[in-house]
Structure 1
Amino acid sequence: MSLIHSFKLVLAPPHPAGKPFLVAGAVVAVVGLALPYTAARIIGVLAFLFVLFCFYFFRDPERVLPADDTAVVAPADGHVVSVMQVAPPAELEIGAEPRWRVAIFLSVLDVHVNRMPVAAQVTKIAYHKGQFVNASLDKASDKNERNALALRLPDGRTMAVVQIAGLIARRILCHAREGASFAAGERFGIIRFGSRTDLYLPPGIVPVVRVGQTMVGGETVLAHL
């Protein structure tokens, strides 16, 4: 990765979901630094640092899809913590047959924007309340708060992508709606402050990634249809 590309990644414009945090932090920073009191100025400095962190956390860089119409791209940045065959979430009603699932853990340092893995239509969205255990653990797929999307490909096959809250993350945002169609790599949501994204491939499709591999949302190829 070139130095210029690294700067572009760090300085990418923030996602709209970060606006409330950025505005609130900026107001506190300005007021705190303007007051002639030591305690107020300390708060102002801390608020300024918080604004810088939010600019970094909510960054939303542009991504370039691979030149391969059969590619299934990563729905999130992060690293792979699990590759195994399991049944998709029952609430999506896309069958109980085990299929390959790739689980991606997002630390607070990763880009947290979620992207569509393929061109598909959202057929069902199911929100499930749950716990907030460490998202890197395998049990997070079943135990944690999650938002699951069932996807139908143009050829009729089904997939699923699941946004999962983590130990720190407490807010899953999804602007996708049932019946809406998305292009591959298109943004559909974000999870605030550390999380996990699971991708359930169509039956019979085998992933081409391994545990520990680093993912770039919208660019890294996870499988081929």
Structure 2
Amino acid sequence: MRLHREGNTIMLVTGLVLLALNLLAYYFLFSDNTTAIALLAVASLILFVLVVQFFRIPTRPLTTGEQHVVAPADGTIVVIEETDETEYFKSRRRQVSIFMSPLNVHVNRNPVTGVVRYFKYYPGKYLVAWHPKSSTENERTTVVIQLANGAEVLLRQIAGAVARRIIWYVKEGQPVEQGSEFGFIKFGSRVDVFLPLDADVKVAIGDRVKGGVTVLADMPA
């Protein structure tokens, strides 16, 4: 396991603030109260560990395959439905959505190999990720990857009530490989995947998936 570079500043600042708070408590606030000092130290350690785990990147074997659409994020499947995708396709698509809790790995990975044909970032609100309007009103990005056979998969990173910053590493015209990083959502949220209607979905509502590992669907031949 390693830690993601997006967490370097946050982890450093958190560590320094907690260290300063504990030194202040030890020398001034609770100098005669060892119980209070110990409780503060334990609480600080727990908080720091929670912050660090947000940025972990576990070592895992990645799933590859031209026909596979692999999960772009860790989390829980909360939506599988046929819906109108109105931004890019402007037609019916099959949507699979993954909810990322603060305890999940927050790296986002390319679900397929191909070329980025469309990218757009939208500033917005921070509704809870499962809110019906979060897909259209929250801070979000839209990425469309075209496969070698011409089929296209749309990904949408959506910020939630806790997540306040979406990171992306792709741009239009860029070739991407299945399983490589395409972005990061700080402190969790949701990723929507829009597939052709004839894609063979391999997951069910409530399934826990792993980014880069779990097969969400198989594309039609």
Do both share a fold (TM > 0.5)? yes
User: What is the aligned partner in structure 2 of residue 103 from structure 1?
Assistant: 97
Q: Does 1:38 align with 2:29?
A: yes
Q: How does 1:68-107 map to 2 (within 5 A)?
A: 68-90=65-87, 93=88, 95-107=89-101
Moved more, 137-146 or 77-86: 137-146
RMSD: 2.1
Q: Secondary structure at the match of 2:56?
A: coil
Q: Structure 1 vs Structure 2: percent identity of aligned residues?
A: 34
Is the contact between residue 132 and residue 167 of structure 1 (CA under 8 Å) also seen in structure 2? yes
8 Å Cα contact 2:66/2:113 also seen in 1 = no
Contact kept? 1:122, 1:178, Cα under 8 Å: yes
Aligned position for 2:34? none
Q: CA deviation at 1:28?
A: 2.0
Q: Does 1:198 align with 2:195?
A: no
Which deviates more, 32-41 or 54-63?
A: 32-41
CA contact (8 A) 1:82 1:138 kept: no
Question: Residues of 2 paired with 1:67 and 1:96: CA distance?
Answer: 29
Task: Name which one, 1 or 2, has greater alpha-carbon Rg.
Answer: 2
* Residue 140 of structure 1 pairs with residue 134 of structure 2: yes
Label 1:149 to 1:140 Cα distance change in 2 as closer, same or farther (>3 A): same
Q: Which runs of 5+ in 1 are unaligned?
A: 1-11
Which of the pair is proportionally richer in strand? 2
Q: What are structure 2's unaligned runs of at least 5 residues?
A: 32-36
TM-score for both structures, normalised by structure 1: 0.85
Q: Distance in 1 between the 2:10 and 2:181 partners?
A: 20
Q: Aligned residues, how many? A: 211
Are the aligned partners of 1:169 and 1:195 in contact in 2 as well (CA < 8 Å)?
yes
Bigger mean CA offset, 189-198 vs 63-72: 63-72
- Is the CA contact 2:64–2:179 (under 8 Å) kept in the aligned structure 1? no
Q: Return the alpha-carbon distance in structure 1 between the equivalents of residues 119 and 40 of structure 2.
A: 41
Q: Counterpart of 1:128?
A: 122
Query: Which string of whole-angstrom CA distances, capped at 9 and with x for unpartnered residues, describes residues 82-127 of structure 1?
Result: 101123351xx3x212111101101111111100101121122111
Deviates more, 1:126-135 or 1:112-121: 126-135
Give the whole-Å Cα distance in 2 for the aligned partners of 1:139 and 1:161.
17
